[in-house]
Structure 1
Amino acid sequence: MWRRQVEIHEAAGRRVAAVDLPGHGSRMGEPFSLEAARDVLDEAVASLPGPHVVVGLSLGGYLALHWAARTDRPPAAVLAASCCTQPRGAALAGYRAVAGAIERLPDRGRFLGNTMARLTLTPESALDVNAGGVPWGVMGPALAAMAEVDTLADLETIEAPIWFVNGAWDHFRTQERRFVRAAQYGQLCVVPGAGHLVSLDQPEAFARLTGLLAERTRLVAV
């Protein structure tokens, strides 16, 4: 799902590492945990030279912030997309119930995922989403782990600049102003015409924001 972003940034001379979290893509068979996710991000950062910006979308955005608040390899900046609602309470319980229902489907959600991608994304973006396999099976464990995450508390401890990037139609932007206030150096960017998958709905606009953040922090790695 990051193919187009990788192409744009590599063409601009930036070195990029697109990371598969546990339970996703090339790590589809690995069990998900917060500790395992933090280890994956530490390994990715160690593979890149110099200062770096970490970019995460949705679950990846929450985990990038969770990692940044704890790592011994602090980022120079974080771009956290589509993750401006505290993962708590009834909303999280509802998503966990939906994940459980999808997990019980005969194909574990494959048809549903393909259909949703086809209806909501461009053909190119839909292909990118499905190319690595849609990790419906990890939704339950990941959402259960998110119950332990206090993103607002994490934001208070992160000393790097944080750009919150949300699609204008994203349902995960309900607390975006509160998130910006909680961050030591927070900035909100809303992308017109985009939904939750902002990097796929508006790939060029998303890449411009990431590139601008990289330039402002004098970064060479994303």
Structure 2
Amino acid sequence: MALSFREYGSGPSVVLLHAFPLDGRMWEPNVEEIADAGFSVVVPDLTGFGRSEAGPTTVGMEYMAREVSEAVASTGAAKSVFCGLSMGGYVLLRLYDIFPLAFAGMVLCDTSARADTDQKRAGREKMIESVESGGSGVLVDTLLPNLVSDTTKETNAALTSKIAAITRDQEPEAICGALRGMASRPDSRKILSDIRVPARMIFGAEDQVTTLDAAKELVEGIGSSDLEVIPGAGHFSSLEAPEAFNQSLISFLKSVYSNS
């Protein structure tokens, strides 16, 4: 098995797909409460991140999605609610496009259905050059300041230090492979109207990377969906405001599985 993953609890399945440039540890503030609510929580490290094996030079979102599918299938879950934050959301949308029958529902967090603009692709290329020459730690100063809210920076220094430490732990090859994959990912807006499972969007109110305009586009594109906005949180809403995030996710899970 190429992907390393952790499992918590028992019950109906929920799969948590982490953001760039982190790994499954980003869900540590969430997994215990979700499992205690009566769910089986599956937390993969996406291709090359954390304890997972490295992938090709360019790790496309479809490549990651297929590896996630294999990992989840190995748990025996016939259907799951998939929850993806940022890059995890890109992977989730590719996964739905390929394996829609694996979904009981979906939660898209601080992410977008749009492909990268030329400007964003150029920015990722510069980031690749920086990581290749300076290692993963360069992202701590160049990228991470934009990923948490001003509220978090002012009130939670321990969290920003944890995010920085997890970032430094990642292999430069994994970071560069994922950057190439995100830069080349297809536009997923065309599949939104085909989504036939319940969906929830959870976004930080202070997210400057994927703003509420991206959230509204997802809600408008997906029929059976709603949006919850978390005050004081930025791009890493599940880390910055875990209590509010957990409450929203658990209520959605209970709704999905009580109606299935």
TM range (shorter): 0.7 to 0.9
Q: Aligned with 1:69: secondary structure?
A: helix
- Aligned residue for 1:203? 242
Task: Name the amino acid aligned to 2:35.
Answer: E
Which shifted more, 80-89 or 14-23? 80-89
Q: CA deviation at 1:197?
A: 0.6
Q: Structure 2 CA distance, aligned partners of 1:8 and 1:140?
A: 33
Q: CA deviation at 1:177?
A: 1.7
Q: CA deviation at 1:51?
A: 3.6
RMSD: 2.7
**Residues 54, 174 of structure 2: 8 Å contact kept:** no
**Residues 57, 82 of structure 1: 8 Å contact kept:** yes
- Aligned residue for 1:59? 87
Q: Structure 1 CA distance, aligned partners of 2:103 and 2:120?
A: 28
Q: Aligned with 2:98: secondary structure?
A: coil
Which shifted more, 78-87 or 193-202? 78-87
Q: CA deviation at 1:98?
A: 3.6
- Aligned residue for 2:222? 183
Matched residues, number: 218
- Aligned residue for 1:83? 111
Q: Aligned with 2:202: secondary structure?
A: strand
Q: Structure 1 CA distance, aligned partners of 2:246 and 2:236?
A: 13
Task: Name the amino acid aligned to 1:127.
Answer: K
Q: CA deviation at 1:36?
A: 2.6
Q: Structure 1 CA distance, aligned partners of 2:242 and 2:113?
A: 22
Q: CA deviation at 1:57?
A: 0.7
**Residues 37, 63 of structure 1: 8 Å contact kept:** yes
**Residues 20, 26 of structure 1: 8 Å contact kept:** yes
Q: Structure 2 CA distance, aligned partners of 1:15 and 1:21?
A: 19
Which shifted more, 165-174 or 96-105? 96-105
Return the match for 1:141 from 154, 160, 177.
Answer: 177
Structure 2 stretches of 5 or more lacking a match?
1-25
Task: Tell me the percent identity.
Answer: 24
Q: Structure 1 CA distance, aligned partners of 2:114 and 2:230?
A: 21
**Residues 65, 151 of structure 1: 8 Å contact kept:** yes
- Aligned residue for 1:123? 158
Task: Name the amino acid aligned to 2:137.
Answer: R
Closer, same or farther: CA 130–95 of 1 in aligned 2, 3 Å: same
Q: Structure 2 CA distance, aligned partners of 1:2 and 1:88?
A: 26
- Aligned residue for 1:102? 130
Q: Aligned with 1:61: secondary structure?
A: helix
Which shifted more, 74-83 or 176-185? 176-185
Q: Aligned with 1:187: secondary structure?
A: strand
Q: Structure 2 CA distance, aligned partners of 1:19 and 1:97?
A: 26
- Aligned residue for 2:30? 5
Q: Structure 1 CA distance, aligned partners of 2:132 and 2:77?
A: 43
Task: Name the amino acid aligned to 2:229.
Answer: V
Higher relative contact order (CA 8 A, sep 6+): 1
Q: Structure 2 CA distance, aligned partners of 1:114 and 1:27?
A: 25
Q: Aligned with 2:55: secondary structure?
A: coil
Structure 1 stretches of 5 or more lacking a match?
none
